[in-house]
Amino acid sequence: MAEMLVDQSNDTTFETPLNVSEKALKEIRKIRESNDIPQEYGLRVGVKGGGCSGLTYSLAFDGEKRDGDKVLGFEDVFLYVDKKSLFYLMGCEIDFSDGLNGRGFTFNNPNATRTCGCGSSFGV
């Protein structure tokens, strides 16, 4: 698991408020390569309203940092996280599962007080 990051908005290195497992980093790289997404694109990680528990996670590649984004660097993978989403994602670990229960990214979020059965929705 990547424990350190670089906040590119001010070139500071510090302990990350959001962790990404090695398995998830490997899958992010694989998706980026298989879809010819430029390496300089970041993965936008967010939280939005919806789902059966009130909030859902979102992941999408994005070519540009937006005003107010935190840029979290994990080796050659960069995450763009807006301030509102970062509040809900503090201490969260993004992992990747390819087991019997399905294939996809999972969020182990200590801030979630309830989750839905499919794991893509949560409440705080």
Residue among 80, 76, 93 nearest 17 (CA): 93
Confidence of residue 17 (pLDDT cuts 50, 70, 90): confident
**What pLDDT shows up at residue 4?**
43
Sequence length of the chain is 124
Q: Specify the DSSP class assigned to residue 109.
A: -
Confidence of residue 123 (pLDDT cuts 50, 70, 90): low
pLDDT, average across residues 87-95? 91
- Domain-wise residue ranges, the chain: 2-123
Q: How far apart are CA 124 and CA 119, in angstroms?
A: 14
**What pLDDT shows up at residue 59?**
94
What's the predicted TM-score (pTM) here? 0.77
Q: How far apart are CA 37 and CA 43, in angstroms?
A: 11
- pLDDT, tens only, 20-71: 999 999 999 999 999 999 999 999 999 888 666 578 889 999 999 999 999 9
The whole-angstrom distance between residue 13's C-alpha and the CA centroid of its chain comes to 18
DSSP H stretches of helix in 54-116 = 83-89
Residue among 74, 124, 69 nearest 95 (CA): 74
CATH fold of 2-123 reads Hypothetical Protein Aq_1857; Chain: A; (2.60.300)
> Which residues, in sequence order, are bridge partners of residue 106?
95
